[in-house]
Copies of this chain bind each other. A is one copy, B any other.
């Protein structure tokens, strides 16, 4: 509980905590405004305001004449009342942000470093042995097939299995309307190249995934940023405003457990965004890679389920659940669009790698998938809170971090003035990498924010997180010192 916050937010945080701790279960009725007024010794207005905040965060829903209920959908990421500046609009990728991103990417690949910067699942969480076994068996059974092209759209058996997974997000994809790609990133890239021409504008989230910035920049596409919040992701009103402001060809959105904030757009807002895009004739390219990584079931619906199929492609992969290294993902959507995407895949890389395609096919057909998804969910559900604890105990006072409900990334907002890039420069000397806030912005915004990937927990990782926290705390003291002459660290007084 942060006493600096307005009273209604403190009350909202307390209720959110109770929901998080399962004192109130999903679907359960919450105490009335009157009860809260009495129990928390706050005014009726404050209680009402607290519920409004919880509704905004997507944690609670109001039912007319009946009061407030814990949302029955999956829990959305709780933003813990965090505030951070969101600068949006259309802009080229800034030199600073570009350079920083490349530096972080390079660091994240260094051997022996503790990599909290990229979202690769730990190898022992993935079905490596079973996948190797099934791939080996498939290769030996039909070695001639494995050396031959597996031309787009890819193996039919695999597409049939993908169709089943896509259906869980509420999207009915025909087996013929699925293109197998080399992971989700290639799926997004192929979709962009299919839908857009150089110079077109694409709506993206801010903060948003840095590789999308790099990709748009490489393809000569203009990015238009709309705010993405830790709780409920992108707001339909912001989408409408952006589309009204100028011609936009496509919206590239991560509606479920967005990266880095963990925000998930509630279903009614998904429906509204789908409507707005259709009205404006704007294509939707949905990155739904984290959709299946919801910690609670059922998983949230894909945004694509509410959009005009003729102008929608849904991209995802098995990289977070089965194997990033095999590189198997997909594009699905309207038949015409997928047909064009198949051609794009063909002319940019001919085909997916056959051994990976047959291996993943066997794995899915064998029925092992759901077990691994469940164990991944359990894993992240335990690693994320542990790292949040390390963050809470080591970062400067006033730091807030997201409490995601799916995926494995934590968005950390430090007090204004604490520079995440400077913290990065200091900890990288010790072989630790994380993602400083400015990589999630075209402009290099979010200077006081950072993303920690909770893909795993170990005492080493815990120590690394606390080290980042200690460095950030030093920076917080230094920033105070520069403001208050003679303060701690100025060297002129004790």
Residues of A within 8 A of B (CB): 102, 105, 109, 120, 123-124, 126-129, 131-133, 135-137, 139-140, 143-151, 182-183, 185-186, 189, 193, 197-199, 211, 214-215, 218-220, 322-327, 343-344, 346-356, 359
Residues of B within 8 A of A325 (CB): 145-150, 351, 353-355
Taking the nearest CB of chain B, how far is it from the CB of A172, in angstroms? 25
- Which 6 residue pairs spanning A and B have beta carbons closest together? A198-B198, A136-B136, A325-B354, A353-B353, A128-B143, A132-B139
What residue in chain B is nearest A351 (Cβ atoms)?
B327
* Cα of A136 to Cα of B220 in the assembled complex, Å: 41
Listed by A's residue number, 29 A-B pairs whose Cβ atoms lie within 8 Å are A123-B145, A123-B147, A123-B148, A126-B147, A127-B147, A128-B143, A128-B144, A128-B146, A132-B143, A145-B325, A146-B323, A146-B326, A147-B322, A148-B323, A149-B324, A182-B350, A182-B353, A185-B350, A189-B348, A189-B349, A197-B220, A211-B347, A214-B346, A215-B348, A218-B348, A323-B354, A326-B353, A327-B351, A353-B355
Which B residues touch A359, using CB under 8 A? 355
Q: How far is the CB of A358 from chain B (nearest CB, A)?
A: 9
User: Which listed residue (B145, B149, B327, B346) contacts A349, Cβ 8 A?
Assistant: B327
Report the separation of the CA atoms of residues A133 and B137 in the bound assembly, to the nearest whole angstrom.
Answer: 10
Q: Nearest residue in B to A123 (C-beta to C-beta)?
A: B144
CA separation between A373 and B105, bound complex, in Å?
Answer: 38
Asked if B349 and A186 make an inter-chain contact with CB atoms under 8 angstroms apart, the answer reads yes
Residues of B within 8 A of A352 (CB): 327, 353
Cα distance A199–B139 when bound, in Å? Answer: 43
Q: Report B-chain residues with C-beta under 8 Å of the C-beta of A351.
A: 183, 324-325, 327
A140 partner, pick from B132, B322, B353, beta carbons under 8 A: B132
Distance between Cα atoms of A149 and B109 in the complex (Å) = 10
**Residue among A124, A219, A349 with most chain B CB within 10 A:** A349
The count of identical subunits is: 2
CB distance from A320 to the nearest CB of B (A): 12
Chain B nearest Cβ from A188, distance in angstroms: 9
Instruction: Provide the main secondary structure of the chain A interface.
Output: helix
Query: Complex: how many Å from CA A197 to CA B324?
Result: 30
- A199 to B198 alpha-carbon distance, docked (Å): 8
Among B127, B129, B146, B218, point to the contact of A132 (Cβ < 8 A): B146
Q: What CA separation (Å) do A109 and B199 show in the bound complex? A: 34
Q: Kindly state the separation between the CA atoms of A354 and B128 in the bound complex, as whole angstroms.
A: 12
- CB neighbours (8 Å) of A135 from chain B are 135-136, 139, 146, 355
- With A183-B350, A211-B347, A218-B348 given, name 5 new contacts (CB 8 A): A135-B136, A145-B325, A183-B351, A349-B349, A353-B355
Complex Cα–Cα for A123 and B183 (A): 26
Q: Is the Cβ of B105 less than 8 Å from the Cβ of A128?
A: no
Nearest chain B CB to A376 CB, angstrom units: 12
User: Do the beta carbons of B131 and A146 come within 8 Å of each other?
Assistant: yes
Contacts of A346 in B (CB 8 A): 105, 211, 214
What residues of chain B lie closer than 8 Å to A186, measured between beta carbons?
348-350
CA distance A218 to B344 in the complex (A): 8
**Contact across chains for A218 and B193 when beta carbons are under 8 A apart:** yes
Bound-state Cα–Cα, A139 to B347, Å: 30
What residue of chain B has the Cβ atom nearest to residue A152's Cβ? B109
Let me know if A144 and B124 touch, CB within 8 A. yes
- A189 proximity list for chain B (CB < 8 A): 347-349
**Could you tell me the distance in whole angstroms from the C-beta of A108 to the nearest C-beta in chain B?**
9
Known A218-B193, A355-B356; judge A324-B131 contact (CB<8 A): no
B324 and A148 form a contact (CB under 8 A): yes
Give the residues in chain B near A140, CB-CB below 8 Å: 132-133, 136
Given contact pairs A148-B325, A149-B325, A129 touches B143 in the complex (Cβ within 8 A): yes
A215–B190 alpha-carbon span in the complex (Å): 12
Q: How far is the CB of A82 from chain B (nearest CB, A)?
A: 29
**In the complex, chain B residues whose CB is within 8 Å of the CB of A348:** 185-186, 189, 215, 218
Cβ of A114 to closest chain B Cβ, rounded Å: 16
The smallest beta-carbon distance between A300 and chain B, in angstroms, is 24
Q: How far is the CA of A151 from the CA of B135 in the complex (A)?
A: 21
The closest CB in chain B to the CB of A184 belongs to B350
Q: Once bound together, how far apart are the Cα atoms of A439 and B355, in whole Å?
A: 31
